[in-house]
Structure 1
């Protein structure tokens, strides 16, 4: 028995050399009945038949098209091998197969070929599977996808053959009819380092995940993200603490730049206005107005440095709190 997973009841053969025709036949029949020797015998018989019909000279002038040294076998060999099971292959582009081309799910199985590769699309119970020897196992296909998939294969140059006749009964048919295969949920994609920092900034800084981040926290999150993006390509082993420290430094640089930009603009404006004042006739002993005094006092470099220092201390306290909670 094939265990609890019904998909394991399907006979599947992995690719060996270029024996995809052999694998496709066995997966279609659901039995290990065909091998290289048996298919070579069929190909040889067909070569002899062609020689008798076309003459020795015609056959000698060209190599066999029914097989080659790598293990490839032609559609004629595959068709001849399936005659033992009363099965026929008809190209889906043939006018008689118009119904199958329009609605492939009414069929039972298809054999597909491109260049020298063969694989099978087959139904077990009410479910469709791709049996391709280059894959690691059977692949479950939805009914809708079967139709679109065969159209895509045709557009890419594949030849698709409708399997006509009654396929032999198989354990997989019985098992999957009673217990359909259920797709396992795909593993949840793990967030990258940048997403993790941005998503959890509130928790990292001592806040709840539901609370709104303060401007400082958002600024720190952006700095963290930038730090992670920069460091991920060069050193993936860097610890989170080191990244946090780098992020804080970047955040402080942004704060300093934000305050220094207005200072530079104010300095340029004062210089321009002072030049204009020198050109005007003003009283030598004029005293500054109260508004001028308050303006100059509110924008002294000492006050700006103090504000940057306070922000630095606040961010460092938040980082220390995060380290204590982690420990």
Structure 2
């Protein structure tokens, strides 16, 4: 049975540019453990290993490419990157439609976390303190899911073409929290379930107004700058994300240019060290 994590607080990250893969991994772990540069280093390491395999093949010249197959300049990471990142924490990611996942197909309540992907968006569904939540970064706060609705929600996602993966293993139980509810990365925060419910209700009320009104409200003094997208719909979030793409592309490109296999390994060592520090604080 899952133990209470962080005193029952929920860790949520709201959408920043196109960093949904980062948000997804961190909400699976329930803490700000990874940055976009950490995932870019993992992607670079995977690319290097794939190139080595192709160079050793007879048809290497036909398939060799300098382009990354694990991260786009827009910031979309492959499932292999998410898998490698979570392996640092001894977590395994497997497709929901594989034979080994048959028990979860019958009763998803048996699991602790799911990762969902469609086109360029990632998000996680996570059990925290015995309750299920949708941690989609396009939501202003985690959305509570009843046990009955969990199964229906997953079926709906599958029917809409989403790829769903199960995350298995021993999840981190505690993440060091700052004195405030805000995470150091600027777009993450810890919320109690009651605050999450309140924020979603407020957001729903705001979204009932026109899109133009929501955009104007975003730039007003009344908007919480720590949660820039909480009053916006999914479509509006994507619009604002596109406005930030240039900065993100430059950061990802620079990271990929500088990263090497050795650099990626150093990044993994740093993450492992962070994990050890976390374990000491339990």
Specify if TM > 0.5: yes
User: In structure 2, do the counterparts of structure 1 residues 17 and 123 end up closer, same or farther at CA, with 3 Å as the change threshold?
Assistant: same
Structure-2 separation of matches of 1:149 and 1:49:
37
8 Å Cα contact 1:111/1:121 also seen in 2: yes
What is the CA RMSD across the aligned residues, in angstroms? Answer: 2.7
How far does residue 170 in structure 1 lie from its aligned partner after superposition?
Answer: 3.2
* SS class of match (1:133): coil
Structure-1 separation of matches of 2:7 and 2:141:
9
8 Å Cα contact 2:108/2:151 also seen in 1: yes
- Equivalent in the alignment of 2:126: 122
- Equivalent in the alignment of 1:113: 117
- Equivalent in the alignment of 1:29: 29
Structure-1 separation of matches of 2:47 and 2:119:
20
Structure-1 separation of matches of 2:120 and 2:132:
24
- Equivalent in the alignment of 1:144: 148
Please show how residues 108-187 of structure 1 align to structure 2 within 5 Å: 108-170=112-174
How far does residue 69 in structure 1 lie from its aligned partner after superposition?
Answer: 0.6
Higher strand share: 2
Structure-1 separation of matches of 2:201 and 2:77:
37
How far does residue 65 in structure 1 lie from its aligned partner after superposition?
Answer: 1.7
Structure-2 separation of matches of 1:137 and 1:87:
25
In the TM superposition, what whole-angstrom CA distance separates every residue of 1:57-101 from its partner, at most 9, and x where no partner exists?
355347322001111100000001111100010100001111101
How far does residue 115 in structure 1 lie from its aligned partner after superposition?
Answer: 1.0
Higher helix share: 1
Which residue of 72, 77, 82 corresponds with 2:76? 72
Structure 1: which 5+ residue stretches go unaligned?
A: 1-5, 173-178, 190-327
- Equivalent in the alignment of 1:13: 13
Please show how residues 1-327 of structure 1 align to structure 2 within 5 Å: 9-55=9-55, 57-61=61-65, 63-170=67-174
In the TM superposition, what whole-angstrom CA distance separates every residue of 1:199-233 from its partner, at most 9, and x where no partner exists?
xxxxxxxxxxxxxxxxxxxxxxxxxxxxxxxxxxx
User: In structure 2, do the counterparts of structure 1 residues 50 and 130 end up closer, same or farther at CA, with 3 Å as the change threshold?
Assistant: same
More relative contact order in 1 or in 2 (CA 8 Å, sep 6+)? 2
How far does residue 8 in structure 1 lie from its aligned partner after superposition?
Answer: 8.8
8 Å Cα contact 1:51/1:58 also seen in 2: no
